[in-house]
Structure 1
Amino acid sequence: MNPLEKLLAAGQLPQAHAEAKKVLARQPTNRDALVVMAKLALMDGKLPQAEEFVTKAEAQGATGDTLLVRANVAAQKGELEPALKLYQQALGKDPKRAEAHFGRGLMLIKLGKTEQSLEALAQAVQLAPTNAAFRYRLGQVQLEAGKDEEGIASLQQAITDMPRFVPAYLSLTHALASRDDLLGAKRVLEKGLKELPRNSRLLASLTVLSMALRDVNASYKAASALAANRPKDPDAQANLAQLMLARGQYQQVLHLCRTMDSLGLSNESLKMAEATCYESEEPPAYDKAVAAYEAGMGLAPDGWRAANNLGQLLLRMPAEPAEQHLPRAITVLEEAVRRAPQRPEPLLNLALALSRAGQQAKAREQVKKVLALPLPETDEVRQEAARLEQALAKA
């Protein structure tokens, strides 16, 4: 490996660029420098420049290096078959070139040739056993081919070879979670966060996984770290707000929601959290809760959750006369159904509101829509819809 290639391999891209330019200033036809400049252009997505440099390098004849660059250019253009042929030509010049086997494997999997891809990627790993990227991609293809044990082992080794390799942690987490090994998946993420304590992708995955495990404390810690890492991300802040609500931290949630609102960064979920805080006050601040839900509906024109929750709030709000808010609840729930006609929750809530309003035929119509959805028999919404159907039949 020449000195310029060593700089590339070490990730010292600015130095490699500067040194290659110096060499070309003295020797405009220096093939090593031209190839490095082509590779750097390729990394920046500058395909025309990469082709220009590699054409100059090939003035003295094609080499394994120039063929690899041309193959990468073709691959980035989506020209899979030409790229595959170029990788094969590179292997003709150097059968032990790991990068060529790897590139060939990537083209083969994209062409749907899984077994051939596995062979090529395995060969790349055999020739470059410490290359974590090669082993990581092999693991992904093994998983895609249904070879779970082999794929998981490859991903674990990729992490061992490169402990700060985020994609490997995420792929391994997904693989373990898909096998219902949620605790194993959680341990992988925790291991990754020891190496990269503030990584947003790992924190977000740990939050979701901890919630699946009903580990609220772990979820709260991960969500807090994610929110601190992304202070202007409404989704990250809303995720933390929901976990704060579960812990009864209403004042902290209100402060968070108002801060995001003042920055113009609020969203539907934050407004829903804000509404929950207002309703939890003693006495409940119903007017403020209604206003927060309305704002949430405006922030998410296609979202159904704020409208559904507002409809439920209107149904349970005390009033004199008792059904004062019922007409508006029906209107809001109809809007929720319009926004998400296949969601069972607003359909059921609309049916309940119509039933309370004495509109039995319309209520039955909504109940039938719920029961027609592919919900398991144990689903709570389905069970409540079935009970309402029986009650309506007796009315």
Structure 2
Amino acid sequence: MNSLETLLAQGQVAQAKAEAEKLLAKNPNHRDALVVMAKLALVENKVPQAEALLAKAEAQGATGETGLVRANIAAQKGQLDAALKAYQGVLALEPNRPEAHFGKGMMLIKQDKAPQALEALSQAAKLAPQNPVFRYRLGQVQLEAGKTDAGLATLREVLTLAPRFVPAYLSLSHALSSQEKLVEARKVLEQGLKAVPNQPRLLASVTVLSMALRDLRTSYQAASTLAAQRPKDADAQANLAQLMLARGQIEQARHLCQTMASLGVASESLKMAEATCFEALEPPAYDKAITAYEQGMGLAPDGWRAANNLGQLLLRVPAEPANANLPRAVTVLEEAVRRAPDRPEPLLNLALAQARLGQEAKAKELVQKVLAMPLAEDTDLHEEAVRLSQALSKA
């Protein structure tokens, strides 16, 4: 590795660029300097500039370095076959080049060739055992290929090798969560927060997992820290507002939503939290809750939750006559289903609305769609669908 490449490997990008520019000022055809400048152009997404610099370097003969840059250019342009060929060309020159094995593996996985990709990534990790990125990608592909135990072990190796490597904590936690090992998954995230205190992505994941474990205290602590770090992040603030509601802190949640609105920060989730606050007032401010849900629907044209919740609200709002809100509820819930046809919640709510309207045939069709979905039988949703189906069969 020449001195310029060493600077890049050490993360001294500015110095590497300055040294390359000095060399090119003396010799415009300095190959090592041209290669480094091409790499830097690629980092800045200046592909044509990178290609021009590389062409001048390649005119003096192909090397492993020029081959890697050629492969990276092809990959950045989405030319997977060309990139794979370039990586194979590098390996023909330098069979033990770990970057080439790694690049080859990444191209193969994008072509759905998992066995070959695993072999290439394993070789990269073997040749560069101290490189956490190589080992991390290997672990990811092992998990994707169904080699769960090997993938988990590899990701744990990454954390031993690089304790501050945040993506590995997230991937390991996600993999454990998918196996229903939620407590172990949260411990991984907590380990990450000890290594990288207050890391936003880790905090967000701890919040979600703690909620799944019904640990509101830990969820609230993590959400509060994240919201303080990101005072104008709609998702972080909405998450905190929802946890306040779960803790019964209605006024605090309403104040938070109003503060965000005054700052021009809005999202579907924030509007949903605001709507819940209005409905929790005594007496409930149904009109304001309905308006908040409508605003939430407008903020997320593809989102289904605000529409679904508005439909539910319209079904329970007292009205004279009793079914006055039903037609509107049906319209809103049909929109929720249109936005998310594979979600069981709006389908079931629409079935309930149709049943209350006396449209038993439509309700039966909808509830059968819900029961055909892969729902766990011990969930409230499945039980409610069964009850509705049984009631409709007797109608």
Question: TM-score w.r.t. structure 1 length?
Answer: 0.88
1:276 counterpart residue number: 276
Offset of residue 17 of structure 1 = 0.2
Percent of pairs with identical residues: 70
Matches within 5 A, 1:1-395: 1-319=1-319, 322=322, 325-326=325-326, 328-357=328-357, 363-364=363-364, 366-395=366-395
Select between 9-18 and 136-145 the one with higher mean Cα deviation: 136-145
Q: Using the TM superposition, name which of 135-144 and 11-20 deviates more.
A: 135-144
- Secondary structure of the corresponding residue to residue 266 of structure 1: coil
Pick closer, same or farther for the CA change 1:44–1:392 going to 2, 3 Å. closer
Runs of 4+ in 1 over 6 A off after TM superposition: none
Q: Which amino acid aligns with 2:107?
A: M
Distance 1:181 1:302 in 2: 32
Aligned residue type for 1:126: K
Q: Deviations over 1:169-189 (max 9, x none)?
A: 222222222222222221221
Taking the aligned partners of 1:48 and 1:323, their CA distance within structure 2 comes to 65
**Paired residue total:** 395
Offset from partner CA, 1:18-62 (integer Å, 9 cap, x none): 111112212323222222212222222222222322332234322
Superimposed CA distance per residue, residues 63-92 of structure 1 (whole angstroms, 9 cap, x where no aligned partner):
222222222222322333333333233233
Write the distance in 2 (CA, Å) between the matches of 1:317 and 1:153: 53
Query: For residues 340 and 102 of structure 2, what CA distance do their matches in structure 1 show?
Result: 45
Offset at 1:234? 1.8
In structure 1, list runs of 5 or more residues that go unmatched.
none
Q: Which has the larger radius of gyration?
A: 1
What CA distance in whole angstroms lies between the structure 1 residues aligned with 2:130 and 2:117? Answer: 19
Structure 2 distance, partners of 1:370, 1:89, is: 53
Q: Could you tell me the TM-score, scaled by structure 2's length?
A: 0.88
Specify the code of the residue in structure 1 equivalent to 2:7: L
Deviations 1:99-147 (CA, angstroms, capped at 9, x unpaired): 2222222233334443333333222222221111111122222222322
Instruction: Report the CA distance shift for 1:109/1:248 in structure 2 as closer, same or farther (over 3 A).
Output: same
Q: Which amino acid is 1:77 matched to?
A: K
Amino acid in structure 1 at the alignment position of 2:268: E
Q: 1:272-326, CA deviations, whole angstroms, 9 ceiling, x for partnerless residues?
A: 2112212222232333323323333333344443333334334433455555555
1:335-392 deviation line (CA, Å, top 9, x unaligned): 5455545544344444444554555565555545544555444343343343334444
Helix, strand or coil at the partner of 2:205 = helix
- The one-letter amino acid of 1:308's match is N
CA-atom RMSD in angstroms:
2.7
